[in-house]
Amino acid sequence: MRRTGAWPPSRVFSRAFTATTAAGGGATPPLARRSWIAHRTCGQQHRPLLCSNGARSFVSFIPKANPSVPREHRPPPPPLPEPQHFHLEHENCTIEYIDIKPVCASAAAKDEVTMVLVHGAPGTYHDFRHIIPLLQQQRESSTSNMRIIGINLPGFGRSTVDKTAYLDQISAVPAAKLTLQALQALCTPTENVFVMGHSFGAHAAFNLTALNQELRNDNRQQQVNFKGMVLLAPAGCRPHRVLRPKENAMVIRLLRSSNPLVTSMLTQAIKFLYTRMLGFSRENPASHFVAGIVRAGTTDFRVVTDHVLATRSTIPSFIAWSSSDEYMEGEIPVELAQMCHPGPRIAFTGGGHNIQKTRADFLADQVLAWVRQVLHSESKVSNKSRDVDDVQVVP
């Protein structure tokens, strides 16, 4: 039977796409794809599929990436090792991760470093594949003694969660709590741990370090020895320009629907929009993209601010961003940098949102130098001013 009038699920798909603008590292959709979707017709009236009375067109929800920023290509990096899996039995959750041992494993314990990589929304540890080998390569002056742990947060990649608590476990703070439990098992109490977060991964970095500090008075749990945070193209303490909190919240309400048809259709629509229009890889399951929306939609910026303030006196920070970021306005990382513990501040004039790829060589050198400085500093907590007047501007 032929439908008449507007197709009801179209509004669901329109709103679902709005939530994909959380910007976790995807590509800009080709205009041809935008047009093809926006101008499909439905029913006898041949109205645009994703338009309704008084509503903005579907195209208006698409992230407005800066068309003047050319895509920067790099030669392919070496392949990453096969993933491992850590199962949290009580929570029925499995964390997928890679664990790359240091090049030089015989150095003094005080020089041993573990860098935990945390991706955006959506994303996986593959987002760091260009910078990983650079963090471990030998330098003329020293040999990197860095262990790399790349984490796929609950719901992303092949990390799985309890189906009965699915939406709760992939939400922002609960996902960080599960990840912290995994890190407590993967890292020793004396291991010097730094966390590198890209985009929404910066929020996860603050969540991890702040939640870890709350364990000080809990003798039942082991603390992770966090020494510092590296925040690349970070999401900040307020929504950035392409984030749509209201639409994200609406999609999450629909995902909580008891109607399996609605949730199934919406889940597949979300994957379609991410992969066909935003250029994300189709290899990941639909749940991977749903997790991106839920993680962004459950972000409470008041909690993020609290966690930033809770860690600024104890956790040194390295922050880098780009003025050509397609998704994040420049004020976001500048404001965040002013709130964090002092440390290097680097503003690239190019490179876009994925600077962990496009500026990997420069960042690897700077991060390694900063890590050595943090470990060998006589005073971990500096009394320097927290302003960012000394931002280093780099092409």
158 and 124 together in one domain: yes
- Examine the domain organization and report whether 367 and 310 are in the same domain: yes
Q: Which residues pair with 196 in a beta bridge?
A: 117, 230
User: 147 and 216 in one domain?
Assistant: yes
| C-alpha triplet 377, 382, 383: angle, nearest 5° | 150
Number of domains observed in the structure of the chain: 2
Q: Is 44 exposed, middle or buried (0-12, 13-18, 19+ CB in 10 A)?
A: exposed
Three-class SS string for 188-247?
CCCCEEEEEEECCHHHHHHHHHHHHHCCCCCCCCCCCCEEEEEEECCCCCCCCCCCCHHH
pTM exceeds 0.85 for this model? no
1 lies in some domain = no
Q: What angle separates helix 9-19 from helix 245-255, to the nearest 10 degrees?
A: 120
Confidence (pLDDT) at 163: 93
Q: Are 151 and 207 in contact (CB under 8 A)?
A: no
| Residue 97 covered by a domain | yes
CB 50 within 8 A of CB 13: yes
Q: What is the pLDDT of residue 41?
A: 36
DSSP state, 88? E
Which uninterrupted H or E stretch holds 342?
A: none
Per-residue pLDDT, 68: 52
Contact 355, 233 (CB under 8 A): yes
**Would you mind telling me the total number of residues written for the chain in this entry?**
395
Task: Tell whether 230 and 338 lie within a shared domain.
Answer: yes
Per-residue pLDDT of the chain (395 residues; tens, 9 = 90+): 433 333 333 344 444 444 444 445 444 333 333 433 333 334 434 333 343 433 343 333 334 455 556 667 788 999 999 999 999 999 999 999 999 998 776 555 566 899 999 999 999 999 999 999 999 886 555 556 899 999 999 999 999 999 999 999 999 999 999 999 999 999 999 999 999 999 999 999 999 999 999 998 777 788 999 999 999 999 999 999 888 888 888 999 999 988 899 999 999 999 998 898 877 889 989 999 999 999 999 999 999 999 999 999 999 999 999 999 999 999 999 999 999 999 999 999 999 999 999 999 999 999 999 999 999 884 444 444 444 448 999 99
In-domain check, residue 115: yes
Per residue in 204-236, pLDDT (tens digit) is: 999 999 999 999 877 778 899 999 999 999 999
* Within-domain flag for 74: no
| 259 belongs to a structural domain | yes
Domain hosting residue 52, numbered range: 9-64+244-280
Same domain, 133 and 257: no
> Looking up tokens 């039942």, which residue turns up?
220
Kindly state whether residues 273 and 308 are assigned to the same domain: no
Which two three-digit tokens encode residue 85? 């899996």
